[in-house]
Amino acid sequence: MLQKQLDILYEGTPCYDIWLEQDYGRLAERAGKLGLENRKVCIVTETNVAPHHVEPVTKALETVAGKVVTFTFPAGEPNKNLETVQSLYAFLIEEGFDRNDVLAALGGGVVGDLTGFAAATYLRGIRFFQLPTSLLSMVDSSIGGKTGVDFKAYKNMVGAFYMPQFVYMNIAALWTLPEREYRSGFGEILKHGLIKDKVFYAWLVKNCDGLLALEGELVTEMVYRSLLVKKDVVERDPKEKGERALLNFGHTLGHAVEKLKNFSLLHGECVSIGMAAAGYISCERGSITKKQFEDILSVLKKFRLPVSVGGIGTDDILSAASKDKKMDAGQIKFVLLKEIGEAYLDLAVTKQEMARACAFILNETY
C-alpha cells in the first residue's frame, strides 16, 4: 500500500509533518525525535477507540519514552467540554506532568480537538501530537492547528490555534470504524473538492464504489489528496483571517442542525445537510445551475450522506446559526459556490434566503 508524507508550513516556515502509514510500525521512530527518553507521555483517548489502539500505541511509545500513561474519557461529542478538560488537567497534575512532557491525541475529532486545547492551556502550553483514527479527523481536524471544546452545546466556542509536533495516520485504523462513522468523513472530503478542486471532486465521484468498499490504495490516495487541499488553504491563512473561512462550507447551518439534533447526527452528516442548504442558495442565486445542484445532491446521496433532516424547524435553525462562532458584526458569514471547485465568502445572505434553504433541507414549503 501507499505510504506518504506531507510537510506543513506555518507563516512560510516548516512547522510539523504528517505521516500516512499502514500501521504503528514507525510511530516510535517519529515520536523518538521529540527527545522523550526521560519524559512522560499521556495518551488521551476515548472509550470506543481505546480497545483497538491503546495497546499497540503504548507499546510503540514505551520504547522511546520514560513513562506512558493513558487518560480515557467517555466517547461522544457531548463529552467534548470543559468538564472533561478539567478532569484531564487533574490527571496530568496527579501524574506530575511538566512543560517538557507530551500529550498524544489518539482518536477522532473529539479527542484531537480536546487534547489540543488541553495542551495549549496546561501550564500555558505543552507539546502534543495527533494520532487520528477516524476518516473525518484524518482529513480535517488533525491538520491546521484548530483546537477547542463545546460550551453549553455551542460547538467549538472555546479554543485556540495550537500546532501539533506531528500527525501520524495509521490508515488501517479506518477498518476498525463503524460503517456510518467512516461514511461521515466523506462530508468533509467532498467539501474539499467542491470548494477548491473540481478534478479531485470528479475523482471522488468516479471512485465512489471503491472508496465505500474501503479499497486500501484508493483510500490512502483519497486521504492524501484531501489533505493537499486543506494544507494549501491553512498554509496561506493559518488563523482564519480570510481564505480559510471557505473550509466552513456546509458548516453554518450544519452546526445548527448538529446542535438541534443533540449530536445524534455525526458531524460529516450535518456538513452534508449544510452543503445541501448552501448549494440551494448558490443555485437560487444562479451561481450554479439547477443541474449542477441536483448533481451535488446525487453525489452526497451516492456516498450515503443525508441531504435533509426532520424533527426541527426553520426558526430553530436560524436562531442556532445566529449564535455560531462564525458571526461577524451580527452578520452570518456564509460560504457559497461560485462553481464546482470554487467557493466564496458572502456576508450578505439574507434571513429569507436562509429560511428558504432551511425549508428545502426540512422538506417543507416556504
pLDDT, mean over the chain: 94
| 86-100 per-position pLDDT tens digit | 999 999 999 999 999
Summarize the confidence of residues 350-359 as an average pLDDT: 95
d(CA 275, CA 114): 26
Q: What is the predicted pLDDT for the residue at 26?
A: 96
Q: And the C-alpha cell for 233? A: 488553504
Tell me: pLDDT of 366 over 60.
no
Residue range 97-156, pLDDT digits in tens: 999 999 999 999 999 999 999 999 999 999 999 999 999 999 998 898 899 999 987 788
How far is 315 from 196, CA to CA, in rounded Å? 31
Q: For residues 332 and 349, is the Cβ–Cβ distance under 8 A?
A: yes
pLDDT in tens, 252-264: 999 999 999 999 9
For residue 166, give the C-alpha cell: 506531528
Strand partners, 71: 44
At which residue does the C-alpha cell 493537499 appear? 228
Give residue-wise pLDDT tens across range 289-308: 999 999 999 999 999 999 99
Q: For residues 268 and 340, is the Cβ–Cβ distance under 8 A?
A: no
Q: Rounded to 10 degrees, what is the CA torsion of 68, 145, 263, 335? A: -170
Task: Give all strands (DSSP E) within the chain, no chain letters.
Answer: 4-10, 13-21, 40-46, 67-73, 102-107, 127-132, 146-151, 154-161, 166-170, 327-328, 331-332, 334-339, 342-346
What's the pLDDT tens digit per position in 178-197? 999 999 999 999 999 999 99
The contacts of residue 161 (CB under 8 Å, 6+ apart) are: 145, 146, 147, 238, 239
Whole-model pTM above 0.75? yes
pLDDT-derived band at 332 (thresholds 50, 70, 90) equals: confident
Report pLDDT digits (tens) over 12-64.
Answer: 899 999 999 999 999 999 999 999 999 999 999 999 999 999 999 999 999 99
Res. 2: pLDDT tops 70: no
Over 50: is that where the pLDDT of 1 sits?
no
> Residue 331: what pLDDT?
75
Mean pLDDT for 208-223 is 96
